[in-house]
Amino acid sequence: MRFQVPQFIDYEIKIIGPFTFKQFMLIAIAGTVCFILYFTISFAKFLLATIVLMGVALTLAFVKVGGRSLPIILMNFFNFSLSPRIYLWKKKEMAPRFINIKRIEKVEKKEEEKDTLPLKIAEGSRLKNLSTQIETRRQ
């Protein structure tokens, strides 16, 4: 039995005209604040505030960086900036709590045995001839 694999799962549905719900809410909130400012402050201040406020709202609604929307990037930035962090420059050397001396001695003996035992290669092998050629070749 074959199943259909869903595609475009990162696609947000356009609810209100060409806008997604988040985009519409950002623009609607900015528009509402601009409408209230129209009746409360002078026209010159209103015009300046409207340009700045709608510019910020449109930027938050439509700009994507690396496939992520700007509000998500700003939220991640503030969470990272305000969260506590610990940076370790030099790690403190701490003595182990339990030392097994017998185990350490066994490990040291095994390492000594590995160092003392030479590599044995058969007399007539091609590997011995190849290793001799590699060792004697001048660079």
The pLDDT of 19-43, averaged and rounded, is 94
State the CB neighbour count (10 A cutoff) for residue 27. Answer: 18
pTM for this prediction: 0.53
**Overall average pLDDT of the 25-47 stretch:** 95
Return the structure tokens found at 78.
């503030």
User: What pLDDT, on a 0 to 100 scale, did the predictor assign at position 52?
Assistant: 97
Which of 14-23, 64-73, 115-124 is least confident? 115-124
Give percent of the chain above pLDDT 90.
Answer: 41
Q: What is the mean pLDDT of residues 125-138?
A: 75
pLDDT at 122 over 90: no
Question: What DSSP element (H or E) covers 113?
Answer: helix 101-116
Q: What's the pLDDT score for residue 42?
A: 94
pLDDT at 60: 94
pLDDT tens sequence across 100-115: 555 556 655 655 555 5
For helices 43-62 and 21-40, the axis angle rounded to 10 degrees is 170
- State the Cα torsion 106-111-112-116 to the nearest 10°: 140
62 vs 56: CA distance, rounded Å: 10
Check residue 133 and give its pLDDT: 78
CA angle 44, 45, 49 (to 5 degrees): 120
